[in-house]
Structure 1
Amino acid sequence: MNPIEGHLSTRSPLHDILAPTGIAVIGASADPTKRGYKAMVGLIKDGFRGDVYPVNPKADMILGVRAWPSVAEIPGSPELALICTPAPSVPGLIRECGRRGIQGAVILASGFAEVGGEGAALERQMMEAARAHGVRIIGPNTSGVFNLHHQLNLLALDNVKPGGVGIVSQSGNMLLSLALEAQHNGHVGFSTYVGPGNQSDIGFNDYLRYLGEDRHTRVATLYVEGFRDGRRFLEVAREVAAMKPVVVYKSGSTEQGQKAASSHTGALAGSYAMTVDLLKQSGVSVVQHSDEILPVAEGLGLLQKAAGKRVAVVADGGGQATIASDRLAEAGLELAELSEATRARLREVLLPQASTVNPVDVAGSTDAHPSLLATCMEIVAADPGVDSVFLVGMFGGYSIRFAESLLGDEMRGAEAMVDLAHATDKPLVIYSLYAPIQPPALRRLHEAGLPVYASIEHSVRVLSALGERGQYLAQARPQAREVSVDAHPELEATFARARREGRDLFEYEAKRLLREHGIAVPEERVVREAGELAEVAATFGDAPLAMKVVSRDILHKSDAGGVRLDLVGRAALEEAREAILASCRAYDPDADIEGVLVTPMAKKGVEVIVGVIRDPIFGPVLMFGLGGIFVEILEDVAFRAIPLSRQDARGMVAQIKARRILDGVRGEPAVDQEALVDLLVSVSRIVEAYPDLKELDLNPVIVNADGYAVVDARVIVEREPLHEESPA
């Protein structure tokens, strides 16, 4: 079993709030329909060891506990208050809590910013009171809190047991679903639960930091509908994921990044796919189906990681071995290639008809000796080419299916598997047909900390998460930060001028920005008058040229007839210029046309796109994928938060589905992928140096075996200055 190692750089202030020695229940009630009643029941039934102060001006006792008429009159200073009263009472109660020295308040009421108007104003009043009196707010509009290792159960949930799964969920029903699933499982327990509600004060990143520090939490699990500060969450997730697993289920998609997006990158950013990529970049295990949340959390909590994605399958049925192989391949996992020495050891213990090629099919060898499955697992686990072991079939049910006399041997097999789990750092994952009825051998495995699943698909998802986490940890070891670049004063002046004129950078200005910072951009000329074409033709000679309109008002040049290709000689250039101007004036008679841009045609290669968007939630994000006019249709792109490491950049290139095109197909040579990595890292540096760069599109970039060339570049300027502007 893998221990949890590491520590966070600072201690969360939430420990005293979420593990209090005293709690005030404001609005405590003897009415079973009230939340103030349920909270009191949860505290009493779970045996909360601290002091409980029911606050109710109309009662002397609540469920046998002395009540107090107001917060001001309770003795002592409990760290936490649970406020069960209606929304309008909350600001005043927060002030009372602050005066009493209460550090945090859980606010159940709805009717705040989520309803807009007066509710939003009420929430502002609440936060003004909280800040003035030093009270941290959980909620409002929260489902509540529990900390089972401290007997703090403010939800009064029955049949939940302490364990290592910490949960933060924006859906109370999702928490209830997970609690019922854990109850059916019988072995999964929880540490802390928080419903963040409106996140008016404490957000996901704060709760994640707490779970990262909490010694009772082995895996942090989050159900997220929307991040308040996605950038900060990614930073905390990276820090926490280095020491324990983080599992996120993200519902819906983030549309904010698509508002007013006028570039390809802007149209694609803000998507669910972008959120998933950024979370994975920070080491988060993302689950895409709600029924995977608890299985993946359990598996990661128990096993932590695998060294890689090479899986050895041991099966007692050919059909399920095939199904497992299919699911593993779909999940991006590999069937480990077993060494000849491993296969020889398997042949020594199995019947001749058994298959010793992964997946290993015992083919009846275990019908009378189910403990032999443990022997096979031990043999394949010893193979250096194996990262994890997957047992598939009917283990646990041999004594039910064949003969009761096999129970003893099956139990010996279970003990051998437990011993193997303690002796190896390779995860052992078990799928069994009999998992739903939990026979003795499977109960023994579960009790010893081995995950047992009733679904091949869930098992494979766990194996995938273990492999991804292991690879992330191996690659996330401290790397030298990429050297930053300094902004060029003349280019800063260009941004300032464009902003004053209410426009974006012209293409030639955008390309100068790239060229000044070492990005390969072909030579080009801006032509404002027809007489300049003779000198341009002489300069480029017989090289075929491209010509494009330069206009602040024409965003998509091809749509306006503003592009001509394969031009050679002065006559062709003059004819093309006239045609472009005529087409563009017909397209938009009011367009301000500065001239045309002439540049050599790029060499043959693969078209890719590199883009940047400043997402309102996650900050600057870089996109990479196949380019050209179909990028928004294919959506075969990868995203990473800026700044990028070289490892991030390599991961982007490897991630896209069309990566085989980059490797060379049908006789075409492979492209220079390290040059692409250089380009991605260089763009990341530029974005850090120029905060007025709002969006960027390099589309297409032609990449081939000799490197790359940026054919078209667009930079959208931030209209509101992000720093004090100096005179140009």
Structure 2
Amino acid sequence: MKSPLHDFLAPDSIAIVGASADPTKRGYKAMIGLIKDGYGGAIYPINPKTDMILGVKTCASLDAVPGPVDLALICTPASTVPGILAECGRKGVKGAIVLASGFKETGAEGAKLEQQVLDAARAGGVRVIGPNTSGMFNLHKKVNLLALANVKAGDIGFISQSGNMLLSLVLEAEHNGHVGFSTYVGPGNQTDIGFNDYLRYLGEDPQTKVATLYVEGFRDGQRFLEVAREISATKPVVVYKSGSTEQGQKAASSHTGSLAGSYAMTVDLLRQVGVSVVQHSNEILPVAEGLGLMQKAPGKRVAVIADGGGQATIASDRLAEAGLELAELSEHTRRRLGEILLPQASLVNPVDVAGSSDANPALLAECMEIVAEDDNVDSIFLVGMFGGYSIRFAEDLLGGEMRGAESMIELARRVDKAVVVYSLYAPIKPPALRRLHEAGLPVYTSIEHAVRVLAALGERGIYLKSRAVASHAPAVVPSEDMKAMFARAQNEGRDLFEFEAKTLLRAHGVDVAPEVIVRSADELPAVAAQFGEQALVMKVVSKDILHKSDAGGVKLNLRGEADLHQAFDSIMSSCRAYDPNADIRGALVTPMAKKGTEVIIGVSRDPIFGPVLMFGLGGIFVEILKDVAFRAIPLSQLDAESMVDQLKARKVLEGARGEPPADKAALVDLLLKVSGIVSAYPQISELDLNPVIAYPDGYAAVDARIIINRSVL
């Protein structure tokens, strides 16, 4: 169903509630923006104290407006907003922008007023942008309610919780000279309309080629991921998520009243659904522009054509840091390059033409055409001084540069590979570079920005290919016995015991070691006979003793009946001394796990994004390095595989220092099974498998903990 936001983000009539003749007021600036930009719809200034503002007749109230109103811009104080929204409802206004601050971002009283705003809007069927918003513009509709000057209409849609971030991008775009915007909205507190709603609108908007968002906090993360997955299939989505540090998260909360959430988790979940995440604010516009122009690259293999060894080296370093590969050029490609370049040229990627182009800059385009035909190449990156040859060497080289530019333009149109240009002359915009930019080739003043664009193009291309073949694992059918087990635990006011958690896992195909619950010492001879000479672990079973080791509730390396008796007596004695009132159900006995690589798998129900699965190396790695990957549940096969591949320390799993590699396929299968179990049992609030021991031929889930979601009966 088409987004209702089209009705008022591309309005045919606008009321300015609180319109003013005072040039310092927003009600004046909005009028100026509409009039100067030539807005063709009806403008209704609402002000009962004057008859005319900027030559436009005013109305005393919304009720007095002679025609329909698509959008109301409310420029009055926070306390007046509920009443004005009620008036909007009576008038049939479709959407309202509430500029005022003083709502939930200020505390309890502000939150109460914000609820009144929402109640009034819903009662009247009015959709609300804000409150606490900078406003909006739709430049193709000539709706400029921010009265910004020198903003070019273009194809980048921008939703930003920071008005200053918009101003920064507008100034950057003005300097760029080729970038323009379609629609901008400041969502503010997202009281009614959230990021997912705005993203759907941008996804449907024919004037928008790339949707770009500055986000401090999501209101409904699950819904946003659903919409992002849908929209990213047809057009690029770029997100800059602030709050990557504890200090940043606190600032985001005080700024918008939003819950910023875990930055690392949010980034992983966004990438899971095809979003291009930028980590630095000065990358937002370059990446948005590059994705809008090029859309995607087939992969991450880049061929570098450079006219200087130093910058070729810098480009190689930055490409490696960004997770891109220097393409391995074929022998045929190197031979063809050698036929047109000087003997001192380097024919191994990065290709350094070493002076070959000094008298003929169009030669760079010939090199680009040659490497573009190589099947090992996904993107072509021109690095150096193209565009400045006529400035640096001789004016009569301008013709060669222009011919080279035309060849590059034709190449980019002909091939499905990305063509990206960095030139040290880009800041002064010489003719050849202006021609490239005008024709739709991204030209950058920074190697770092160009590389980030190449990374985004490659990531998007790989995502789109993987999306075409991705499938989720078969759904897990919940067992009646397991549901009864959850019910018993909930009735007793506890979480699942470890043996119950393992029973659940085992019931759905997870490899869990055999175990026995011992309730009295009389049962130990049978246990000793069952396990023979295997090394065993014994752990206390009690809902009241969470940290078993602290209570003396764990004994290791037990062999035979005598060891078991001694361990059982010691555990019972220590745990009763630790907590005399503890409900002790006995002890769990299971074989000691063989040596292998420890990993951790955890699931939590995030308040913003819903059930999220975490995977990482266990032991000291997870605590010290925090080298973990996150994905929203349910996982696809590719999601699970990418979690394992994402770890910085994945070489440990691949077999470091002569150790055998872990069974990656088994770990992927385990991740998918855990995802299916959590999807099938809403009773699970948190799940923790720590450690899981990964072996060359499988794994063993050594410890399992499941916390019950008490809101689910």
Q: Is the alpha carbon distance of 1:573 and 1:631 closer, same or farther for their aligned partners in structure 2, counting shifts above 3 Å? A: same
**CA–CA distance in 2 between the matches of 1:345 and 1:396?**
24
How many Å apart are 1:562 and its aligned residue? Answer: 2.3
Secondary structure, counterpart of 1:226 in structure 2: coil
Structure 2 equivalent of residue 325 of structure 1: 316
2:84 aligned with 1:110, yes or no?
A: no
**CA–CA distance in 1 between the matches of 2:580 and 2:277?**
50
CA distances 1:624-679 after superposition (whole Å, capped 9, x unpaired): 11113552222111110000111111111111112112222233222221111111
Structure 2 equivalent of residue 655 of structure 1: 646
**CA–CA distance in 1 between the matches of 2:487 and 2:261?**
27
**CA–CA distance in 1 between the matches of 2:409 and 2:417?**
13
Structure 2 equivalent of residue 17 of structure 1: 8
Secondary structure, counterpart of 2:207 in structure 1: coil
The answer to whether the Cα contact below 8 Å between 2:71 and 2:94 also exists between their aligned partners in 1 is: yes
Q: Is the alpha carbon distance of 1:254 and 1:460 closer, same or farther for their aligned partners in structure 2, counting shifts above 3 Å? A: closer
2:674 aligned with 1:683, yes or no?
A: yes
Secondary structure, counterpart of 1:666 in structure 2: coil
CA distances 1:488-520 after superposition (whole Å, capped 9, x unpaired): 222212222222322211100100010111111
How many Å apart are 1:116 and its aligned residue? Answer: 2.3
How many Å apart are 1:480 and its aligned residue? Answer: 3.9
Alignment match of 1:399 (pick from 377, 390, 402): 390
The answer to whether the Cα contact below 8 Å between 1:226 and 1:254 also exists between their aligned partners in 2 is: no
**CA–CA distance in 2 between the matches of 1:104 and 1:633?**
49
RMSD between superposed Cα atoms in Å:
1.7
Structure 2 equivalent of residue 426 of structure 1: 417
The answer to whether the Cα contact below 8 Å between 1:168 and 1:207 also exists between their aligned partners in 2 is: yes
Secondary structure, counterpart of 1:378 in structure 2: helix
Alignment match of 1:218 (pick from 209, 212, 227): 209
CA distances 1:257-291 after superposition (whole Å, capped 9, x unpaired): x9xxxxxxxxxx95211110000001000011111
Structure 2 equivalent of residue 266 of structure 1: none
Alignment match of 1:36 (pick from 27, 30, 37): 27
Structure 1 equivalent of residue 178 of structure 2: 187
The answer to whether the Cα contact below 8 Å between 1:687 and 1:693 also exists between their aligned partners in 2 is: yes
How many Å apart are 1:479 and its aligned residue? Answer: 3.9
Structure 1 equivalent of residue 61 of structure 2: 70
**CA–CA distance in 2 between the matches of 1:661 and 1:120?**
49
Secondary structure, counterpart of 1:193 in structure 2: strand
**CA–CA distance in 2 between the matches of 1:560 and 1:250?**
43
Structure 1 equivalent of residue 564 of structure 2: 573
The answer to whether the Cα contact below 8 Å between 1:527 and 1:533 also exists between their aligned partners in 2 is: yes
CA distances 1:397-451 after superposition (whole Å, capped 9, x unpaired): 1111111121111111111111111111111111111111111111111111111
CA distances 1:197-219 after superposition (whole Å, capped 9, x unpaired): 11110000000000001011111
Q: Aligned letter for 1:251?
A: S
Structure 1 equivalent of residue 296 of structure 2: 305
Alignment match of 1:702 (pick from 689, 693, 699): 693
2:629 aligned with 1:638, yes or no?
A: yes
Q: Aligned letter for 1:289?
A: H
Structure 1 equivalent of residue 609 of structure 2: 618
2:357 aligned with 1:348, yes or no?
A: no
**CA–CA distance in 2 between the matches of 1:559 and 1:59?**
76
Alignment match of 2:504 (pick from 499, 505, 513): 513
Structure 2 equivalent of residue 412 of structure 1: 403
**CA–CA distance in 2 between the matches of 1:694 and 1:253?**
25
**CA–CA distance in 2 between the matches of 1:614 and 1:170?**
26
The answer to whether the Cα contact below 8 Å between 2:328 and 2:349 also exists between their aligned partners in 1 is: yes
2:556 aligned with 1:558, yes or no?
A: no
Q: Percent identity?
A: 73
**CA–CA distance in 1 between the matches of 2:577 and 2:291?**
62
Structure 1 segment 83-102 matched on structure 2, within 5 A: 83-102=74-93
Alignment match of 2:18 (pick from 2, 27, 43): 27
Greater mean alpha carbon deviation, residues 154-163 or residues 403-412 = 403-412
How many Å apart are 1:253 and its aligned residue? Answer: 4.8
How many Å apart are 1:182 and its aligned residue? Answer: 0.7
CA distances 1:67-95 after superposition (whole Å, capped 9, x unpaired): 11110111111211111111111111111
Greater mean alpha carbon deviation, residues 350-359 or residues 413-422 = 413-422
**CA–CA distance in 1 between the matches of 2:149 and 2:514?**
72
How many Å apart are 1:606 and its aligned residue? Answer: 1.1
How many Å apart are 1:327 and its aligned residue? Answer: 0.6
Structure 2 equivalent of residue 162 of structure 1: 153
How many Å apart are 1:58 and its aligned residue? Answer: 1.0
Structure 1 equivalent of residue 253 of structure 2: none
The answer to whether the Cα contact below 8 Å between 2:471 and 2:637 also exists between their aligned partners in 1 is: no
Q: Aligned letter for 1:675?
A: A
Structure 2 equivalent of residue 541 of structure 1: 532
The answer to whether the Cα contact below 8 Å between 1:254 and 1:271 also exists between their aligned partners in 2 is: no
Alignment match of 1:284 (pick from 238, 256, 275): 275
How many Å apart are 1:685 and its aligned residue? Answer: 0.8
2:576 aligned with 1:602, yes or no?
A: no
Secondary structure, counterpart of 2:526 in structure 1: helix
How many Å apart are 1:478 and its aligned residue? Answer: 5.3
How many Å apart are 1:586 and its aligned residue? Answer: 4.5
The answer to whether the Cα contact below 8 Å between 1:327 and 1:457 also exists between their aligned partners in 2 is: yes
TM-score (norm 2): 0.96
Structure 1 segment 116-195 matched on structure 2, within 5 A: 116-195=107-186
The answer to whether the Cα contact below 8 Å between 1:254 and 1:270 also exists between their aligned partners in 2 is: no
In structure 1, the gaps of 5 or more residues are: 1-9, 259-268
**CA–CA distance in 2 between the matches of 1:277 and 1:683?**
18
TM-score (norm 1): 0.95
Secondary structure, counterpart of 1:523 in structure 2: coil
**CA–CA distance in 1 between the matches of 2:374 and 2:8?**
48
**CA–CA distance in 1 between the matches of 2:582 and 2:150?**
69
2:230 aligned with 1:239, yes or no?
A: yes
Greater mean alpha carbon deviation, residues 549-558 or residues 43-52 = 549-558
**CA–CA distance in 1 between the matches of 2:624 and 2:578?**
25
The count of corresponding residues between Structure 1 and Structure 2 is 703
